[in-house]
Amino acid sequence: MKFGAGKGVFSHFSDKDTRPTLSRKSSGFDQFCSILQSYENLSILDMSGASQANISFITGMGHRISSDDVIGTMVECFGKDFLANQQAASNAQRFLDKSFTFPEASFDGALVWDAFQFLTSPLIEQAINQLFRILRPGAHLLLFFSANEKASSIPVYNYRIQDRKTLLQMPRQGTTDQKSQYFNNRRIEKLFERASSMKFFLTRDHLREVIVRR
Amino acid sequence: MSSQPRSFDPDPVSPRGAGTAALGKNVTIKGQIFAREDLIIDGEVEGTVECQEHRLTIGPNARVQAGLKAREIVIHGSIQGNVDATDKIDIKKEAKLVGDIKTSRIVIEDGAYFKGSIDISKAGAKAASGASAAAPQGVPVSNTASAVANASK
């Protein structure tokens, strides 16, 4: 069986996770790497948690990497249903207290991946504010959002860098598929209206890739 | 991590060498530890631990709130503090590390929890860059690369 962007069969989490890992071409990540190559000794935040692949890739380019498992924090604060349980103010505040706990202006870039697509208003706006606080002016972020209007639920992935054009989407163990939110370009532009620039990338699957410049 | 203390053999292949000290799971230390031989910590430590030129192993039952310095550091348990290894840091899948890392080489298993920054020395970064260039498919990820390869057969 061959894997391509957007192909694969998903099933709900069971004790033995049989969901496939997907290999995905990413123009957005390729562009992000081009930006990284233009500078030396940057500090990059990987919000997919620590992984050998991502650490080796970013440090191999001569940059520093920091890790923060934002999805893990969502699991801890929201349990099985991210969208429903973040409506409770106490859960939302717990999430904000535990996330992005780095000093102000720490990073030149962030690999947000698709973490923000599991947040809804007002929490998503608060999370973006908190993320911007720890980014330096001019920092670049790479974000993915679901672009499938018809999807009722989406899996939760960890993203692993295979090379500058290819990412592995690994279904995250210990999570179930989450209710999907649709993000069109307009909605994303509104979320990042404070940004100095934004670039969208065409993809063949139901994932919208965006590079935002703080 | 299981709440039941686990028996721990840091080196299942060869027995603990004569030059290795160990703090068992029922030992608690608050203060500074200096070691001039390999050290295994499987208890609770608060303070600092220094094993210059030697190997420091943090066992699965260990709960460490300390800055660590050694030639090589292997982590199975829980650490809150900065970790500085001149040669290598090896973070096992059951480990939990909150703090900054400074080292020449790092190995981290899938499933390990880490929050903090990683500073790789120039020599280590060049070695990683060389390894990436030699392997155009990227650094192998232990479980997923085989899963994708098997699935595509």
Tens of pLDDT along B51-86? 989 999 999 999 999 999 999 999 999 999 999 999
Distance from C-alpha of B147 to C-alpha of A20, rounded to nearest angstrom: 8
Give contacts of A168 with chain B, Cβ < 8 Å: 141, 144, 148
- Say whether both B115 and B134 belong to one domain: no
Nearest CA in chain B to A18: B147
B135 touches chain A (CB under 8 A): no
- Say whether both B96 and B130 belong to one domain: no
Could you report the per-residue pLDDT of A176-207, keeping only the tens digit for each?
888 888 888 899 999 999 999 999 997 877 88
Give contacts of A2 with chain B, Cβ < 8 Å: 152
Which of helix, strand or coil describes residue A54? helix
- Say whether both B64 and B89 belong to one domain: yes
Token code pair at residue A23: 């290999």
- Say whether both B136 and B109 belong to one domain: no
Structure letter (DSSP) for residue A117: G
pLDDT at B142 over 50: no
The reply to whether CATH 2.115.10 applies to domain A22-213 is no
- Say whether both B51 and B114 belong to one domain: yes
Considering only CA atoms, which of A121, A143, A129 is closest in space to residue A47?
A143
According to DSSP, the β-strands at A135-146 and A107-113 are parallel
Residues 6+ apart with CB under 8 A from B5: B25, B61
- Say whether both B80 and B21 belong to one domain: yes
- Residue B104 contacts residue B87 (beta carbons within 8 Å): yes
Could you report the per-residue pLDDT of A143-173, keeping only the tens digit for each?
999 888 888 888 899 999 999 999 999 998 8
Please provide the average confidence, as pLDDT, over all residues in chain B: 80
Give contacts of A52 with chain B, Cβ < 8 Å: 106-110, 139, 141-142
- Number of A/B CB contacts below 8 angstroms equals 91
Q: Quick one: B5 exposed, middle or buried, by C-beta within 10 A (0-12, 13-18, 19+)?
A: middle
Domain span at B125: 121-153
- Say whether both B79 and B111 belong to one domain: yes
If one counts the domains in chain B, the total is 2
Please report which confidence band the pLDDT of residue B3 belongs to, taking 50, 70 and 90 as the band edges: low
pLDDT number for residue B18: 61
Of B108, B119, B124, the CB nearest to A52: B108
Distance from C-alpha of B147 to C-alpha of A168, rounded to nearest angstrom: 11
pLDDT number for residue A125: 95
B146 touches chain A (CB under 8 A): no
Supply the pTM of this predicted model: 0.81
Residues 6+ apart with CB under 8 A from A92: A77, A86, A123, A126
- Say whether both B37 and B111 belong to one domain: yes
